[in-house]
Amino acid sequence: MSDLPLKDVADLSEDDARLELERLAKAIAAADIAYHQNDAPEITDADYDALKRRNDALEQAFPELVRTDSPSGKVGAAPAEGFAKVRHGVPMLSLSNAFADEDVEDFVVRAKKFFMADILRDPGFKLEFTAEPKIDGLSASLRYENGVFVKGATRGDGAVGEDITENLKTIADIPHKLSGSGWPAVIEIRGEVYMTHEEFRRLKEHSAKFGGQDYVNPRNTAAGSLRQKNPEITASRKLRFFAYAWGLAEDGNGNSQPPAATQWDFVQSLRSWGFVTNDLMLRADNAEALIAHYRMIETQRASLGYDIDGVVYKLDRIDLQQRWGFVARAPRWAIAHKFPAEQATTILTGIDVQVGRTGALTPVARLQPVTVGGVVVENATLHNEDYIKGIGNNGEPIRNGVDLRVGDTVIVQRAGDVIPQIVDVVLDKRPADAQPYVFPHACPACGSEAVREHNEKTGKLDSVRRCTGELICPAQAVENLKHFVARDAMDIDGLGDKQVTQFYAEGRIARPADIFTLRARDERSIKKLKDADGFGATSVKKLFDAIDARREPELDRFIYALGIRHVGETTGALLAKEFGTIEKFRETALAAAQHEDGHSLFPQISGIGETVRSSIMAFFANERNVQALDDLLVEVKPKPYVVVVSADSVVAGKTVVFTGSLEKMTRSEAKAMAERLGAKVAGSVSAKTDILVAGPGAGSKLKTAQDLGVEVISEDEWFERVGK
């Protein structure tokens, strides 16, 4: 890090060295925790490596000062709380790093020296090395027993990782059963879980649409996705896996059984067993060829579609690896040749503010075009106004608290990020007249006041400033229309972003309802659509027909299409299921919105939390939103959500009462399930009640039921009976 006193090691006194080692141990430990446990690195990889190198140099010069908690003896951080721990059969390694070509040459020379006797004795002795890209993902170890995937774990601290078996099973590249033959009875396959740039972009766009979290880079997103408590979330993230090594490998009797004679052969075997391996692998017997391969991969880095942070060289023959052995916990026979961080210096020429569908004002940095890692960068994300000021999401300083000013010379980084970021400001080059950036308090699109809301839960100011213009804001209106017609919402053929933007600009549509009156208005208009740019009589008729074809949309799509903040597709479906009709939803939400204690009027729906409920009520509290919905409902009749009633179920026609606290479902879920099975759900026990489902804490209803001789069953018995 730039603020560390990088005195030459030889000039340091013992006291200086001791203090610096202490500081380094703390800094590296903090960085390890941020990186491995919280998936949120606070310093760049290059800075981190610099700290490690400095630490190594100091330890070498002052061996008597090596700390008991020395970072050089550590691989990563201990596992995070919450997942079961898994002890790896063979520890997962960390590699020594090489940064310069000379380090690679040294590595090859060291190998030659170590095996000199063999080289001299046997003219046919070949010392070969493999070179493979180092994937910037999350290391995982997969245990297969008799060819079946039984347990998967993160690296953790190298010895003990977290059990993420269920999450790993959702990754298509990971075979549940090995194909082919020749695999040991028990084998730990090692590899890297990663996320492609394409998937990362998709996720980011999706999240931006729903006002969700901001993903930093593919690596952290992959890590976060892999450590979800709910494997379905992991499955939805489309993670990938490259296999490249093994840990434990044993035959059926517990004897060690290396699965191949060389690393090269092993990777071929991995393919035949059904794993995906990286194509950019090379085998060579000299440093020049290895370095040339590194350069070749470096030039391809930007276009690979996934992040890599270097190239790994390994001694190819497994028997020779075993002979050469380890130093501390790193193998002598392998080394990681790291890429320099992809950074470039340029000038911040301006800051633009864009307005999203939910009114969020997002600043974007305009940069003097510069090439970073093979890609021309002209824009960088600035997230929000605090970010420009040098303040992070939790109030912590970023860029050492330095703000960004137009005219600043800045350092731009694409270290794995698809969207470039400004990592630093060169303060020496700040123009004397540079002014602090003043974030607009008015919406650049409509002039309405833009405010930062107080988050009720955290008591903090929301990091996002939002335009309060809502429906009068043209930027929000256009984004809302785009959302409304989108494929996953109303899905109107021939009406996409481009047409919506054009129609809005031409004054043809301003709100969703206008889409459905377009044909009638066009017939009366003298400025007919068929004469407009890019249209003809046929395409206009087709468009109008496509619009008419969507006048009876599915209820869940319709609710989602309304664009209520935090209401995504899943929530739309939950609401549709709960309310059944748009009228019922509108009536309930409106009543809740107008009530002092609205939350008590809005039903508790499993999967819908307070944030979503508040957001729905806020939507309905706005008269203009209600008016827009009502106008839309004049034109559109969403289909009622059909609940499939199975009349032949054992509870069909029965009257059921639920009481006490249910543990496996919410009360509304229980009610919905019973109704779906053809039962009638009542609120109180009477002589007409057939079944009382009583959870713990059941009181008077249970007593009444017992007095009346009504059948009483537990929640578990209920599930048994209905066969769920």
Active-site positions? 134
The site map against Zn ion for 126-155 (x = CB under 5 A) is ------------------------------
- C-beta of 276 vs 442, nearer to Zn ion: 442
Single out the residue of 74, 76, 101, 129 nearest to residue 337, CA to CA.
Answer: 101
The region of 40-48, 244-252, 277-285, 435-443 touching Zn ion under the rule CB under 5 A is 435-443
The site map against Zn ion for 363-402 (x = CB under 5 A) is ----------------------------------------
State the alpha helices, DSSP H only, in 366-495: 385-389, 474-485
The yes or no reply on residue 443 touching Zn ion (CB under 5 A) is yes
The span from the CA of 373 to the CA of 395, in Å, is: 31
Range 538-597, binding Zn ion (CB under 5 A): none
The yes or no reply on residue 685 touching Zn ion (CB under 5 A) is no
- C-beta of 38 vs 448, nearer to Zn ion: 448
- Spell 404-419 as b/e; 16+ CB within 10 A means b: bbbbbbbbbbbbbbeb
- Shortest approach of Zn ion to residue 539 CB, angstroms? 32
Bridge partner residues of 363 (DSSP): 353
Q: Are 617 and 649 in contact (CB under 8 A)?
A: no
- Shortest approach of Zn ion to residue 361 CB, angstroms? 8
- Shortest approach of Zn ion to residue 719 CB, angstroms? 50
The span from the CA of 50 to the CA of 303, in Å, is: 27
- Shortest approach of Zn ion to residue 710 CB, angstroms? 59
- For 561, residues 6+ apart whose C-beta sits below 8 A from its C-beta are 483, 484, 486, 489, 490, 512, 553
The yes or no reply on residue 104 touching Zn ion (CB under 5 A) is no
The yes or no reply on residue 515 touching Zn ion (CB under 5 A) is no
Residue type, 8: D
The pair of structure tokens assigned to 632 is 């839309």
The yes or no reply on residue 445 touching Zn ion (CB under 5 A) is yes
Q: In 10 A of CB 16, how many CB atoms?
A: 15
Q: What are the respective helix, strand and coil percentages of the chain, to the nearest 5? A: 40, 20, 40
The span from the CA of 281 to the CA of 631, in Å, is: 62
Single out the residue of 172, 143, 182 nearest to residue 265, CA to CA.
Answer: 182
Q: Is 415 helix (H, G, I), strand (E, B) or coil?
A: coil
- C-beta of 41 vs 469, nearer to Zn ion: 469
- C-beta of 596 vs 623, nearer to Zn ion: 623
Range 171-230, binding Zn ion (CB under 5 A): none
Query: What's the chain's Rg over C-alpha atoms?
Result: 31
The yes or no reply on residue 446 touching Zn ion (CB under 5 A) is yes
The region of 32-40, 45-53, 402-410, 461-469 touching Zn ion under the rule CB under 5 A is 461-469
- C-beta of 448 vs 649, nearer to Zn ion: 448
Maximum alpha-carbon separation in the chain:
99
The yes or no reply on residue 464 touching Zn ion (CB under 5 A) is no
The yes or no reply on residue 469 touching Zn ion (CB under 5 A) is yes
The yes or no reply on residue 92 touching Zn ion (CB under 5 A) is no
- Shortest approach of Zn ion to residue 379 CB, angstroms? 21
The pair of structure tokens assigned to 523 is 């017939």
Q: Are 39 and 224 in contact (CB under 8 A)?
A: yes
- Shortest approach of Zn ion to residue 389 CB, angstroms? 22
- Shortest approach of Zn ion to residue 448 CB, angstroms? 5
The span from the CA of 35 to the CA of 51, in Å, is: 14
The pair of structure tokens assigned to 464 is 């996002």
The pair of structure tokens assigned to 104 is 């690679």
The region of 240-248, 462-470, 559-567, 588-596 touching Zn ion under the rule CB under 5 A is 462-470
- C-beta of 444 vs 678, nearer to Zn ion: 444
- Shortest approach of Zn ion to residue 510 CB, angstroms? 14
The yes or no reply on residue 473 touching Zn ion (CB under 5 A) is yes
- C-beta of 142 vs 473, nearer to Zn ion: 473
- C-beta of 351 vs 467, nearer to Zn ion: 467
Q: Are 277 and 267 in contact (CB under 8 A)?
A: yes
The yes or no reply on residue 467 touching Zn ion (CB under 5 A) is yes
Residues that bind Zn ion (CB under 5 A): 443, 445-446, 448, 467, 469, 473
